[in-house]
Structure 1
Amino acid sequence: MTPDESLNVLGETLALCSNEPKTGFFRDGHCNTCDADHGSHTVCAVMTAEFLAFSKYVGNDLSTPRPEFGFAGLKPGDQWCLCAGRFLQAAEEGCAPRVRLASTHARALEIVPLDVLKTHGLDS
């Protein structure tokens, strides 16, 4: 699997999302993606208690540790490469987390409009 070009939604070089916890489809700390990333883990988001509860409610529990997968669980304040579709769903429900635009991959725009990302952007 070869990552797509590392560009963010602003047309610049994709910035780091998080190394602690290590995130990304490639677990390289960036929201890099490729055609094999069917979930489009491209939106660098800062977790909130509200979003983590929403994600668990809709079937993707990101807060419970899963040591068998080397996953410590996320807590408010952690940055994580979210699936673009889940981010859009949360935005439509009014509980989307804040977004690091410089760390959000350009392919997120295939699912989430730029104005929606900017509305939640920390660095816009």
Structure 2
Amino acid sequence: MVEQTDMILDTIFHALGDRTRRQMLFDLSKGERSVGELAEPHAMSLAAASKHIKVLEVAGLVRREIRGRTHLCRLDPTPLSGAHQWLSSYEHFWTGRLDVLERLLRAEDAASANNKDGE
């Protein structure tokens, strides 16, 4: 089960690792788009856009529907919940690290204020 989960996360993070694909997902979060509409802001061919969309489809983040000659894409955010859970597991770590940093900075500020008072 762990290996399957790791493979799914690898696929999702691979898909999210490209700026163009992240922008496509953002555009799809606003509603359904054709492949041409997704390609347009990036000045890329339909074939290039289709390759990016295929990566998003493999990750389960996009669903494509063919209506006549038009390929329409729609966001499926479900797989993002697994990525979010994985990232959230590090929240405790980073919160703890930031708390330590805050204490150190406050102690430094207090020491600096005490030095100024003693002058």
TM range (shorter): under 0.3
Higher helix fraction: Structure 1 or Structure 2? Answer: 2
Structure with larger RCO (C-alpha < 8 A, sep 6+): 1
TM-score calculated relative to the size of structure 2: 0.25
The structure having more radius of gyration, on CA atoms, is: 2
TM-score calculated relative to the size of structure 1: 0.24
